[in-house]
């Protein structure tokens, strides 16, 4: 796909008229998809897709079009030529854009991660073995994901990652299930089997009579998958320069009042160790890392070229959404084997869902517990907990009430497959939190 994309970029270059320039972005994948239900394969297939987004500009006037590529060069050349002419016609009626900022100093790059994925047969066999004797449902998706960039200044960037996601749930009855996720860029059969065994052990605990607790504050352990939902909400406007300058960030108290989180909390956008490409849509190369919160203190924003032009700041390679693509949270000193002991008496939360802001300006979130959430007494799981709603602020959860973070951080890849597989990731620890507010 790389050669095909760059060849099409050369075609665009050859068809430019005086004063015109272009940006070209490529998105493609070759993916195996397998869906499971009742521990059996219900759907299996493969997807190959290629998309080219072409943006033509003249000065600060610009227009773009996304086209589907066939992979046949002659056909794609005709499609690209037609797109150039269409965009050229549109430009004459397009207004000037004062915040149009692109990279004009070529910074070419290439990364191709080694293929350490299982074959589709190996993945299916592993999942079926893990589901034997249980009602297991979910999917496996794996294969190379390609991203590319080219422009009229001669810049060429390419990124290929080989990644997989196994998103499974072990279902018991009613609303009781245990969710497990195994994802990454290198298949580890032993690690997958260990996660499956752990999920099945928790499934047995779900068979006990459920417990309901009264609303109030409880000591909880948020597993990495539960903390991921909190961080996902926080990433919705929490770290972008545009939201900070317009006072719409949920972290406004950190920006304007100097409120801090616990000293143990350090968050970075770690592109250098993530799966997202190291370049963005305007051609700027992303730094290996950007520290967002350092020791509980807000440090840097993610700054897209557009925000940089609008607010007079220096861009740092952020995409237009100014949302993290490879968010890392520094771990603590709590060993995973000591989690239940450290929790003592309280609630083990495996997953959260349906999160939203109940008070955005206060960074207050609400949501529901999901799947395997347990009541724990004296370091022992006693009973599954009926579904509860929480309502609490990040300043409390990750501030004064943060009692500890696990030393091991889990890599959590996005399982989104809308339009295409995602390269977004998080690396997070688990967190013990005091006085976590359950409201219903």
Dump the DSSP string for 177-212: EEEEEEEESB--HHHHHHHHHHHHHHHHHHTSPPB-
Q: Which residues contact 145 (CB under 8 A, 6 or more apart)?
A: 28, 29, 31, 160, 161, 162, 163, 275, 420, 421, 423
Q: What is the rounded (10 degree) CA torsion for 151, 153, 154, 159?
A: -40
At 86 the pLDDT is 96
Percent of the chain with pLDDT over 70: 100
Residue 173 has pLDDT above 90, yes or no: no
CATH number of this structure's domain 2-206, picked from the four choices 3.40.50.300, 3.30.2290.10, 2.60.40.420, 3.40.50.2300? 3.30.2290.10
At 371 the pLDDT is 84
Q: Exposure string (b/e) for 89-122, b if CB count within 10 Å is 16 or more?
A: eebeeeeeeeebbbbeeeeeeeeeeeeebbebee
Residue 417 has pLDDT above 90, yes or no: no
Residue 372 has pLDDT above 90, yes or no: no
Dump the DSSP string for 259-326: ----TT--EEE-GGGSSS-SB-TTSPBPPS-EEEEETTEE---B--HHHHHHHT----S--TT---SE
**CA-closest candidate to residue 373, choices 343, 341, 349:** 349
**CA-closest candidate to residue 224, choices 257, 177, 183:** 183
Residue 350's pLDDT band, with cuts at 50, 70 and 90, is very high
Cross-sheet strand order for the sheet of 290-294: 297-298, 290-294, 267-269, 326-329, 425-428, 410-413
Which H or E run includes 413?
A: strand 410-413
Please state the domain extents for the chain.
Answer: 2-206, 216-438
414 touches 276 (CB < 8 A): no
Mean pLDDT of 53-75: 96
Rg (CA), the chain: 24
At 299 the pLDDT is 96
Mean pLDDT of 321-344: 97
**CA-closest candidate to residue 76, choices 143, 170, 152, 11:** 11
Distance of CA 15 to CAs 12, 84, 152, 282, 283, Å? 5, 8, 11, 21, 20
Measured CA to CA, the distance from residue 234 to residue 251 in angstroms comes to 8
- pLDDT, tens digit (0-9, with 9 covering 90-100), for 95-106: 999 999 999 999
The pair of structure tokens assigned to 142 is: 């794996």
Measured CA to CA, the distance from residue 226 to residue 220 in angstroms comes to 11
At 418 the pLDDT is 83
**CA-closest candidate to residue 394, choices 213, 268, 253:** 253
Residue 250 has pLDDT above 90, yes or no: yes
Give the Cβ contact number of residue 220 at 10 Å: 27
Measured CA to CA, the distance from residue 218 to residue 386 in angstroms comes to 15
At 336 the pLDDT is 92
**CA-closest candidate to residue 188, choices 131, 133, 111, 123:** 123
Measured CA to CA, the distance from residue 132 to residue 239 in angstroms comes to 43
63 touches 85 (CB < 8 A): no
- pLDDT, tens digit (0-9, with 9 covering 90-100), for 187-220: 999 999 999 999 999 888 999 999 999 999 999 9
The pair of structure tokens assigned to 102 is: 């692109």
Per DSSP, 246 falls in state: T
Mean of the per-residue pLDDT values of the chain:
95
Residue 174 has pLDDT above 90, yes or no: no
């Amino acid at each position: 796909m790389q050669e095909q994309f760059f060849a099409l970029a050369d075609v665009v270059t050859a068809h430019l008229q005086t004063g015109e320039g272009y940006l070209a972005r490529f998105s493609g994948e070759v993916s195996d998809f397998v869906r499971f239900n009742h521990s059996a394969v219900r759907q299996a297939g493969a997807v190959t897709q290629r998309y080219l987004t072409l943006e033509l500009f003249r000065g600060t006037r610009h227009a773009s079009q996304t086209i589907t590529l066939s992979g046949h060069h002659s056909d794609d050349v005709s499609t690209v030529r037609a797109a150039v002419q269409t965009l050229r016609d549109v430009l004459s009626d397009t207004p000037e854009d004062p915040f149009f900022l692109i990279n004009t100093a070529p910074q070419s790059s290439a990364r191709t991660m080694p293929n350490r994925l299982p074959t589709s047969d190996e993945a299916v066999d592993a999942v079926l073995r893990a589901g034997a004797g249980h009602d297991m449902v979910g999917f496996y998706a794996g294969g190379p994901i390609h991203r590319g960039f080219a422009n009229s200044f001669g810049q060429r960037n390419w990124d290929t990652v080989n990644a997989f996601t196994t998103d499974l749930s072990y279902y018991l009855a009613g609303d009781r299930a245990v969710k497990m996720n195994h994802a990454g860029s290198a298949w580890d059969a032993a690690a997958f089997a260990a996660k499956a065994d752990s999920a099945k052990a928790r499934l047995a605990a779900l068979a006990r009579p459920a417990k309901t607790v009264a609303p109030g504050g409880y000591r909880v352990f948020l597993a990495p998958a539960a903390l991921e939902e909190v961080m996902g909400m926080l990433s919705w406007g929490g770290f972008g320069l545009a939201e900070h300058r317009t006072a719409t960030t949920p972290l406004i108290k950190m920006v304007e009042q100097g409120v801090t989180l616990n000293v143990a909390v350090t968050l970075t956008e770690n592109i250098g160790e993530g799966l997202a490409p190291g370049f963005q849509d305007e051609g700027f190369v992303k730094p290996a890392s950007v520290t967002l919160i350092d020791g509980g203190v807000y440090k840097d924003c993610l700054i897209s070229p557009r925000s940089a032009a609008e607010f007079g700041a220096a861009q740092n390679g952020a995409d237009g959404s100014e949302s993290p693509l490879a968010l890392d949270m520094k771990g603590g000193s709590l060993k995973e084997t000591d989690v239940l002991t450290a929790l003592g008496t309280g609630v083990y939360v495996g997953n959260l869902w349906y999160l939203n802001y109940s008070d955005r300006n206060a960074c207050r979130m609400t949501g529901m517990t999901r799947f395997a959430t347990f009541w724990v007494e004296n370091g022992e799981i006693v009973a599954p907990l009926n579904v509860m709603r929480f309502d609490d602020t990040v300043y409390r959860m990750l501030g004064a009430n943060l009692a500890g973070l696990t030393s091991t951080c889990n890599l959590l890849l996005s399982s989104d497959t809308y339009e295409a597989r995602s390269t977004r990731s998080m690396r997070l620890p688990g967190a013990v939190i005091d006085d976590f507010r359950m409201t219903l």
